[in-house]
Amino acid sequence: MLKIRNGRDFVGGAAMIVVSLLFIAFGRELDVGNSFQMGPGYFPVMLSLLLIGIGVLIIVQSLVVAVRDEPDAPANWKASILVILAPVFFGLALSRLGLAPTMFLMVGGVSCASRYAGWRHSIALALFMAISSVVLFTRLLSLPVSAFGPWIPFLSN
């Protein structure tokens, strides 16, 4: 008889597999192509297959490794709410503030939810992510995203 030793990991691995299969099912009409001529469905399918592999590993680990008997930590509602609101903020503020300030505020705000990060680490991480995202997305990938939006007129293009 199969015994699940760590139910939380088992459910997490199964959820990863289900989400991956949904992405594959929704993107089945996209052309996958091959490694040399990638179609629009190449990355979603490959990332879904990678996620399925990770999910299988987590399920196998949940069958082998037992969870320690520790009392459950209280839920960190502040972190949960901030992590859920961060993409909403990003979607609403990107066209108005631009990539750099939006990324800075989002990462800085979400890092405040951590019990282990201080304000210096949060600011340093937010600044690094803002600069990195501007360099990557606007300069290297040439995506049509401005670094500073119309709400910051003295820095916008």
Model confidence over 15-72: pLDDT tens digits? 999 999 999 998 888 888 888 888 888 888 999 999 999 999 999 998 887 777 777 7
Band of the pLDDT at 155, cuts 50, 70, 90?
A: confident
Residue 156 banded pLDDT, cuts 50, 70, 90: low
Mean pLDDT to the nearest integer, 127-143: 92
Q: Which range, of 4-8, 9-13, 66-70, 142-146, averages the lowest pLDDT?
A: 66-70
Rounded CA separation 112/134 (Å): 22
* Cβ 98 vs Cβ 146: under 8 Å: yes
Q: Is the pLDDT of residue 129 over 90?
A: yes
User: Which of 54, 70, 52 is closest to 6 using CA atoms?
Assistant: 70
Dihedrals phi, psi of 33, to nearest 5 degrees: 70, -150
- The per-residue pLDDT for range 73-93, each reduced to its tens digit, is 777 888 889 888 999 999 999
Angle between helices 99-111 and 119-133 (to 10 degrees): 150
Give the per-residue pLDDT at 118. Answer: 86
